[in-house]
């Protein structure tokens, strides 16, 4: 039997009883004959607690030191899980980012993994040990501790699985898998059994917070099969895998939605370089812009609309207003109450009319579309936030076709 | 101005206001022109909290994992102090055991420092930063995290001071320095201004818990002047330094005491190898034996008495009784209510009559002496524990001669 990498998130290790339960699960898999690497997050709430301490000392605490600070959360969980495993008679060893050289760049708080030295892990596995890896953390070239950003332990797990050429990477979480739409909104939402990396990337970037998007990118690049499943049951969850021919038949595999804020710059002179002039200063402020829409202009002017996270709206507005007056654009409007709703599916590439069906469904529910943006396997629209749930439910029912039980 | 190493213990960094206060103190010293390395302990109570978690999972948790676990305590303090310093406009950088290669052996929980790579520290100092070092921790040759045992941050600080050839090492603690006797017992106890390494070694090993004994050994070997002082005042504390001629004049520089338990093995056959037979199995059980007394025997038999920490008495008795029956010794007795009281002073080497004066003082107070042991600069006696405070007070008054204010 081959090597499996498992990852347990913060809620799965939130207290000692849960850690003991994870240890029992791991020991059982080990006993069944698998080699096992377990990647763990900090106990739920710990990262926020530590950042809270830092922010009490400084409103904008030094980022390098914050990473050294919060990395202790995963270190604690890893050591405790190794202790619990040893107590069950399952030899285990915790390993930290610096001990297995999870080499990253130096972008503290959102570092990207560059390489992993599998040697230390494989030799511990060869000694018959379960290896418990502290997720979320790495080291840069100067041996500074770095962290990978929210959800980074997913990426740690997939990266370790890739480096070790594991059979698969199991992501244990507090949901049962990836759903066609949010089960809290659509009671008829269905768990997806298999989904392609590309579809998952679109869903992950669309607010389905089951997997960190970079972990999916990693999985796709290194072809690591990822199994997203519940840590509270043995039921199979969702496999995220390479595209399979049967997947093509499904037009729409999922509906996702996210609250955003919208900014429109009116009457932008329609000249080369002006998009860069608008979005450069926003990027410099580390504000992540999501959708950008620019329609063809008239009389040498165009309107430019984009969405940002709600928390960044005021800062983005301040920046854009300054830019607008500098480049001679017109008024800048904003709306903080919009939602982006997207449908994703490999089948869109070959099936005509999905967009038309989407727009017709929304029209039937009298939902006005403010913006539209499409990619090969995704269609996103922006609507008034008050219609978010209605739109998701209606689209799931009409397009994913599993609405029998929906309200 | 030269380089100073400062160490702040757990009570000095117990919460955010204290950490901020330490940052202010450090920033002021830096502003005065000193290069500065600050070694920190975990916030008071944190090490015990973490060990408590481990012990809830396993009665005897894996030692390697415990070290990885508790090392997070110092990591958190170091990062927080660096954040607080940066906030005061004082550039700082935390460095962990593995980042400055505090190389130790692999004795988890009580590792000994073998070397320190000063390069990373000196280059950070050269950039004008205060370096905050996580105390108590190191790494072994396989890059496993190790810890140095209770009080280990003292040793970290002195070792760093030695490696960097610092001017001195300041140990900030919750007492004002080293006292001639325990101020809680003797209100007339006097703070010692200067004391030699050897005297401090004797006092440290005798229960004066101001400095970890290994830190004093390190300071002596590398001739690091150590300044033990209060983190709550600017008053000078006690300098622990090389022996100075004026010190010789003081017969007794301090009185110390400690509660212990006593074990006597009667009628041990007076043959080579029997002491080894008795103490070998005790050492194998990691029980630290303190005093050992064996008097000249009669009729081929001798009595052997030794002291151990009270918590280890039952285990020691079990082992010794097994040994006694194997080697044909007689009865084994124990007393758990004894105290060891010691007087220490360089002057004893040249001044006759100190021991006689000590014994006479005890006799005047009708305190019976159960055991006596002496070294070049120390005399220890074991007495009934109920006389401990009386003996310390009487000896401090009679010998250290500062008893005017004592009760």
Cβ neighbours of B288 (radius 10 Å): 10
d(CA B155, CA B178) in angstroms, rounded, equals 17
CATH superfamily of A255-405: VC0802-like (3.30.2130.10)
Residues of B in contact with A66 (CB under 8 A): 79, 83
- Answer whether B296's CB lies under 8 Å from B302's CB: yes
Nearest Cα neighbor of A238 from A229, A251, A247, A230 is: A229
pLDDT at residue B205 in the model: 67
Fold of A3-174: Carbamate kinase (3.40.1160)
Find the closest chain A residue to B86 by CA distance: A62
Find the closest chain A residue to B68 by CA distance: A79
User: Residues near A60 by Cβ (< 8 Å), separated by ≥ 6?
Assistant: none
Residue to substitute from B47, B49, B57, interface A, most A β-carbons within 10 A: B57
Q: Do A80 and B53 touch (CB under 8 A)?
A: yes
B17 touches A at CB < 8 Å: no
Would you call A384 helix, strand, or coil by DSSP? strand
SS3 assignment for chain B? CCEEEEEECHHHHCCHHHHHHHHHHHHHHHHCCCEEEEEECCCCCHHHHHHHHHHHHCCCCCHHHHHHHHHHHHHHHHHHHHHHHHHCCCCEEEECCCCCCEEECCCCCCCCEEEECCHHHHHHHHCCCEEEEECCEEECCCCCEEECCCCHHHHHHHHHHHHHCCCEEEEEECCCCCECCCCCCCCCCCECCEEEHHHHHHHHHCCCCCCCHHHHHHHHHHCCCEEEEECCCCCCCEEEECCCHHHHHCCCCEEEEEEEEEEEEEEEECCCCHHHHHHHHHHHCCCCCCCEEECCCECCEEEEEEEECHHHHHHHHHHHHHHHHHHCCCCEEEEEEEEEEEEECHHHHCCCCHHHHHHHHHHHCCCCEEEEEEECCEEEEEEEHHHHHHHHHHHHHHHHCCHHHCC
- Answer whether B28's CB lies under 8 Å from B21's CB: no
% of residues, chain B, pLDDT over 70:
97
Q: Do A80 and B20 touch (CB under 8 A)?
A: no
**Largest Cα–Cα separation, chain A:** 77
Q: Do A65 and B71 touch (CB under 8 A)?
A: no
Nearest to B68 among A20, A79, A84 (CB): A79
Q: Do B16 and A87 touch (CB under 8 A)?
A: no
A301 touches B at CB < 8 Å: no
d(CA B21, CA A100) in angstroms, rounded, equals 37
A63 touches B at CB < 8 Å: no
Residues of B in contact with A75 (CB under 8 A): 68-69, 71-72, 75
Q: Do A65 and B145 touch (CB under 8 A)?
A: no
Pairing of strands A35-40, A3-8: parallel
* pLDDT tens, N- to C-terminus, chain A (407 residues): 789 999 999 999 999 999 999 999 999 999 999 999 999 999 999 999 999 999 999 999 999 999 999 999 999 999 999 999 999 999 999 999 999 999 999 999 989 999 999 999 999 999 999 999 999 999 999 999 999 987 899 999 999 999 999 999 999 988 888 888 888 888 878 889 999 999 898 887 666 678 888 899 999 999 999 999 998 888 999 999 998 887 777 778 889 888 999 999 998 887 777 888 888 888 888 788 888 888 776 778 888 889 998 888 999 999 999 999 999 899 999 998 999 999 998 878 777 678 888 888 988 999 888 888 888 788 888 999 999 999 999 998 888 853 333 22
- Answer whether B45's CB lies under 8 Å from B57's CB: no
* Residue A184 CB burial class (10 angstroms; 0-12, 13-18, ≥19): exposed
- What is the number of CB-based contacts under 8 A between chain A and chain B? 115
d(CA B284, CA B292) in angstroms, rounded, equals 17
Backbone angles phi, psi at B258, to 5 degrees: -155, 140
DSSP A387: G
Nearest to A16 among B53, B80, B144 (CB): B53
pLDDT at residue B384 in the model: 93
Nearest to B83 among A20, A61, A76 (CB): A61
Residue ranges of chain B whose pLDDT lies below 50: 402-407
Those of residues 359-378 in B touching chain A at CB distance below 8 A are none
Q: Tokens representing B122?
A: 């000196």
Q: Do A64 and B93 touch (CB under 8 A)?
A: yes
Find the closest chain B residue to A96 by CA distance: B68
Q: Tokens representing B62?
A: 């894996």
d(CA B306, CA B382) in angstroms, rounded, equals 10
Q: Do A66 and B83 touch (CB under 8 A)?
A: yes
Those of residues 24-53 in B touching chain A at CB distance below 8 A are 50, 53
Nearest to A80 among B57, B84, B144 (CB): B57
pLDDT at residue B407 in the model: 28
Min Cα distance A317 → chain B (Å) is 29
Q: Do B78 and A93 touch (CB under 8 A)?
A: no
A72 touches B at CB < 8 Å: yes
Find the closest chain B residue to A21 by CA distance: B57
Nearest to A19 among B20, B57, B143 (CB): B57
Q: pLDDT (tens digit, 9 = 90+) per residue, B237-272?
A: 999 999 888 787 777 888 988 899 999 999 888 777
The domain locations on chain A are 3-174, 255-405
Nearest Cα neighbor of A115 from A125, A126, A130, A105 is: A105
ipTM of the complex: 0.80
Nearest to A83 among B61, B71, B80 (CB): B61
Those of residues 216-245 in A touching chain B at CB distance below 8 A are none
Q: Tokens representing B345?
A: 């002073």
Strand order in the sheet with A113-116: A113-116, A102-104, A137-139, A145-147
- The pTM assigned to this predicted structure is 0.82
Residue to substitute from A17, A63, A80, interface B, most B β-carbons within 10 A: A80
Q: Do B61 and A16 touch (CB under 8 A)?
A: no
Nearest to A56 among B16, B144, B145 (CB): B16
- Answer whether A61's CB lies under 8 Å from B83's CB: yes
Q: Which residues is B102 bridged to in the sheet?
A: B116
Q: pLDDT (tens digit, 9 = 90+) per residue, B93-109?
A: 999 999 999 999 999 99
pLDDT at residue B208 in the model: 63
Q: pLDDT (tens digit, 9 = 90+) per residue, B39-76?
A: 999 999 999 999 999 999 999 999 999 999 999 999 99
Q: Do B57 and A98 touch (CB under 8 A)?
A: no
Residues of A in contact with B69 (CB under 8 A): 75-76, 79-80, 83
Nearest to B57 among A20, A99, A120 (CB): A20
A141 touches B at CB < 8 Å: no
Q: pLDDT (tens digit, 9 = 90+) per residue, A130-174?
A: 999 999 999 999 999 999 987 899 999 999 999 999 999 999 988
Strand order in the sheet with A292-294: A292-294, A301-308, A254-269, A332-344, A378-384, A369-375
pLDDT at residue A373 in the model: 83
Residues of B in contact with A72 (CB under 8 A): 72, 75-76
d(CA B333, CA B404) in angstroms, rounded, equals 40
pLDDT at residue B282 in the model: 86
């Amino acid at each position: 039997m081959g090597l499996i990498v498992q990852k347990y998130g913060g809620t799965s290790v939130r207290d000692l009883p849960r850690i003991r339960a994870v240890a029992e699960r791991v020991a059982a898999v080990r006993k069944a004959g698998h080699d096992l690497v377990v990647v763990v997050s900090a106990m739920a709430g710990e990262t926020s607690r530590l950042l809270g301490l830092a922010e009490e000392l400084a409103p904008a605490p030094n980022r390098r030191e914050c990473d050294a600070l919060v990395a202790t959360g995963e270190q604690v969980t890893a050591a405790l899980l190794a202790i619990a495993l040893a107590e069950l008679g399952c030899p285990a060893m915790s390993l930290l980012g610096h001990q297995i050289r999870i080499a990253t760049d130096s972008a503290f708080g959102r570092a990207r993994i560059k390489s992993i030295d599998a040697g230390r892990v494989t030799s511990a596995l060869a000694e018959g040990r379960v290896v418990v890896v502290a997720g979320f953390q790495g080291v840069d070239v100067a041996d500074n501790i770095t962290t990978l950003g929210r959800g980074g332990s997913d990426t740690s797990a997939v990266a370790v699985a890739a480096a070790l050429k594991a059979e698969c990477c199991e992501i244990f979480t507090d949901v049962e898998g990836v759903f066609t739409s949010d089960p809290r909104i659509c009671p008829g939402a269905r768990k997806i059994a298999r989904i392609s990396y590309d579809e998952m990337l679109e869903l992950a970037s669309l607010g389905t917070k089951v997997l960190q998007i970079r972990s999916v990118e990693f999985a796709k690049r290194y072809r690591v099969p990822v199994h997203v499943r519940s840590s509270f049951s043995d039921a199979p969850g969702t496999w995220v895998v390479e595209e399979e021919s049967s997947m093509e038949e499904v037009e729409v595999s999922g509906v996702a939605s996210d609250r955003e804020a919208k900014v429109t710059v009116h009457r932008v002179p329609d000249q080369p370089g002006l998009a860069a002039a608008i979005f450069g200063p926003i990027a410099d402020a580390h504000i992540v812009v999501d959708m950008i829409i620019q329609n063809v202009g008239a009389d040498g002017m165009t309107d430019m609309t984009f969405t940002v996270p709600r928390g960044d709206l005021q800062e983005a507005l301040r920046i854009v207003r300054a830019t607008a007056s500098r480049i001679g654009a017109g008024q800048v409007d904003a709306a903080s109450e919009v939602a982006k709703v997207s449908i994703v599916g490999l089948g869109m590439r070959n099936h005509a009319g999905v967009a038309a069906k989407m727009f017709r469904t929304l029209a039937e529910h009298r939902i006005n579309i403010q913006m539209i943006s499409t990619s090969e396997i995704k269609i996103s629209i922006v609507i008034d936030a008050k219609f978010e749930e209605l739109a998701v439910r209606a689209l799931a029912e009409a397009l994913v076709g599993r609405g029998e039980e929906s309200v």
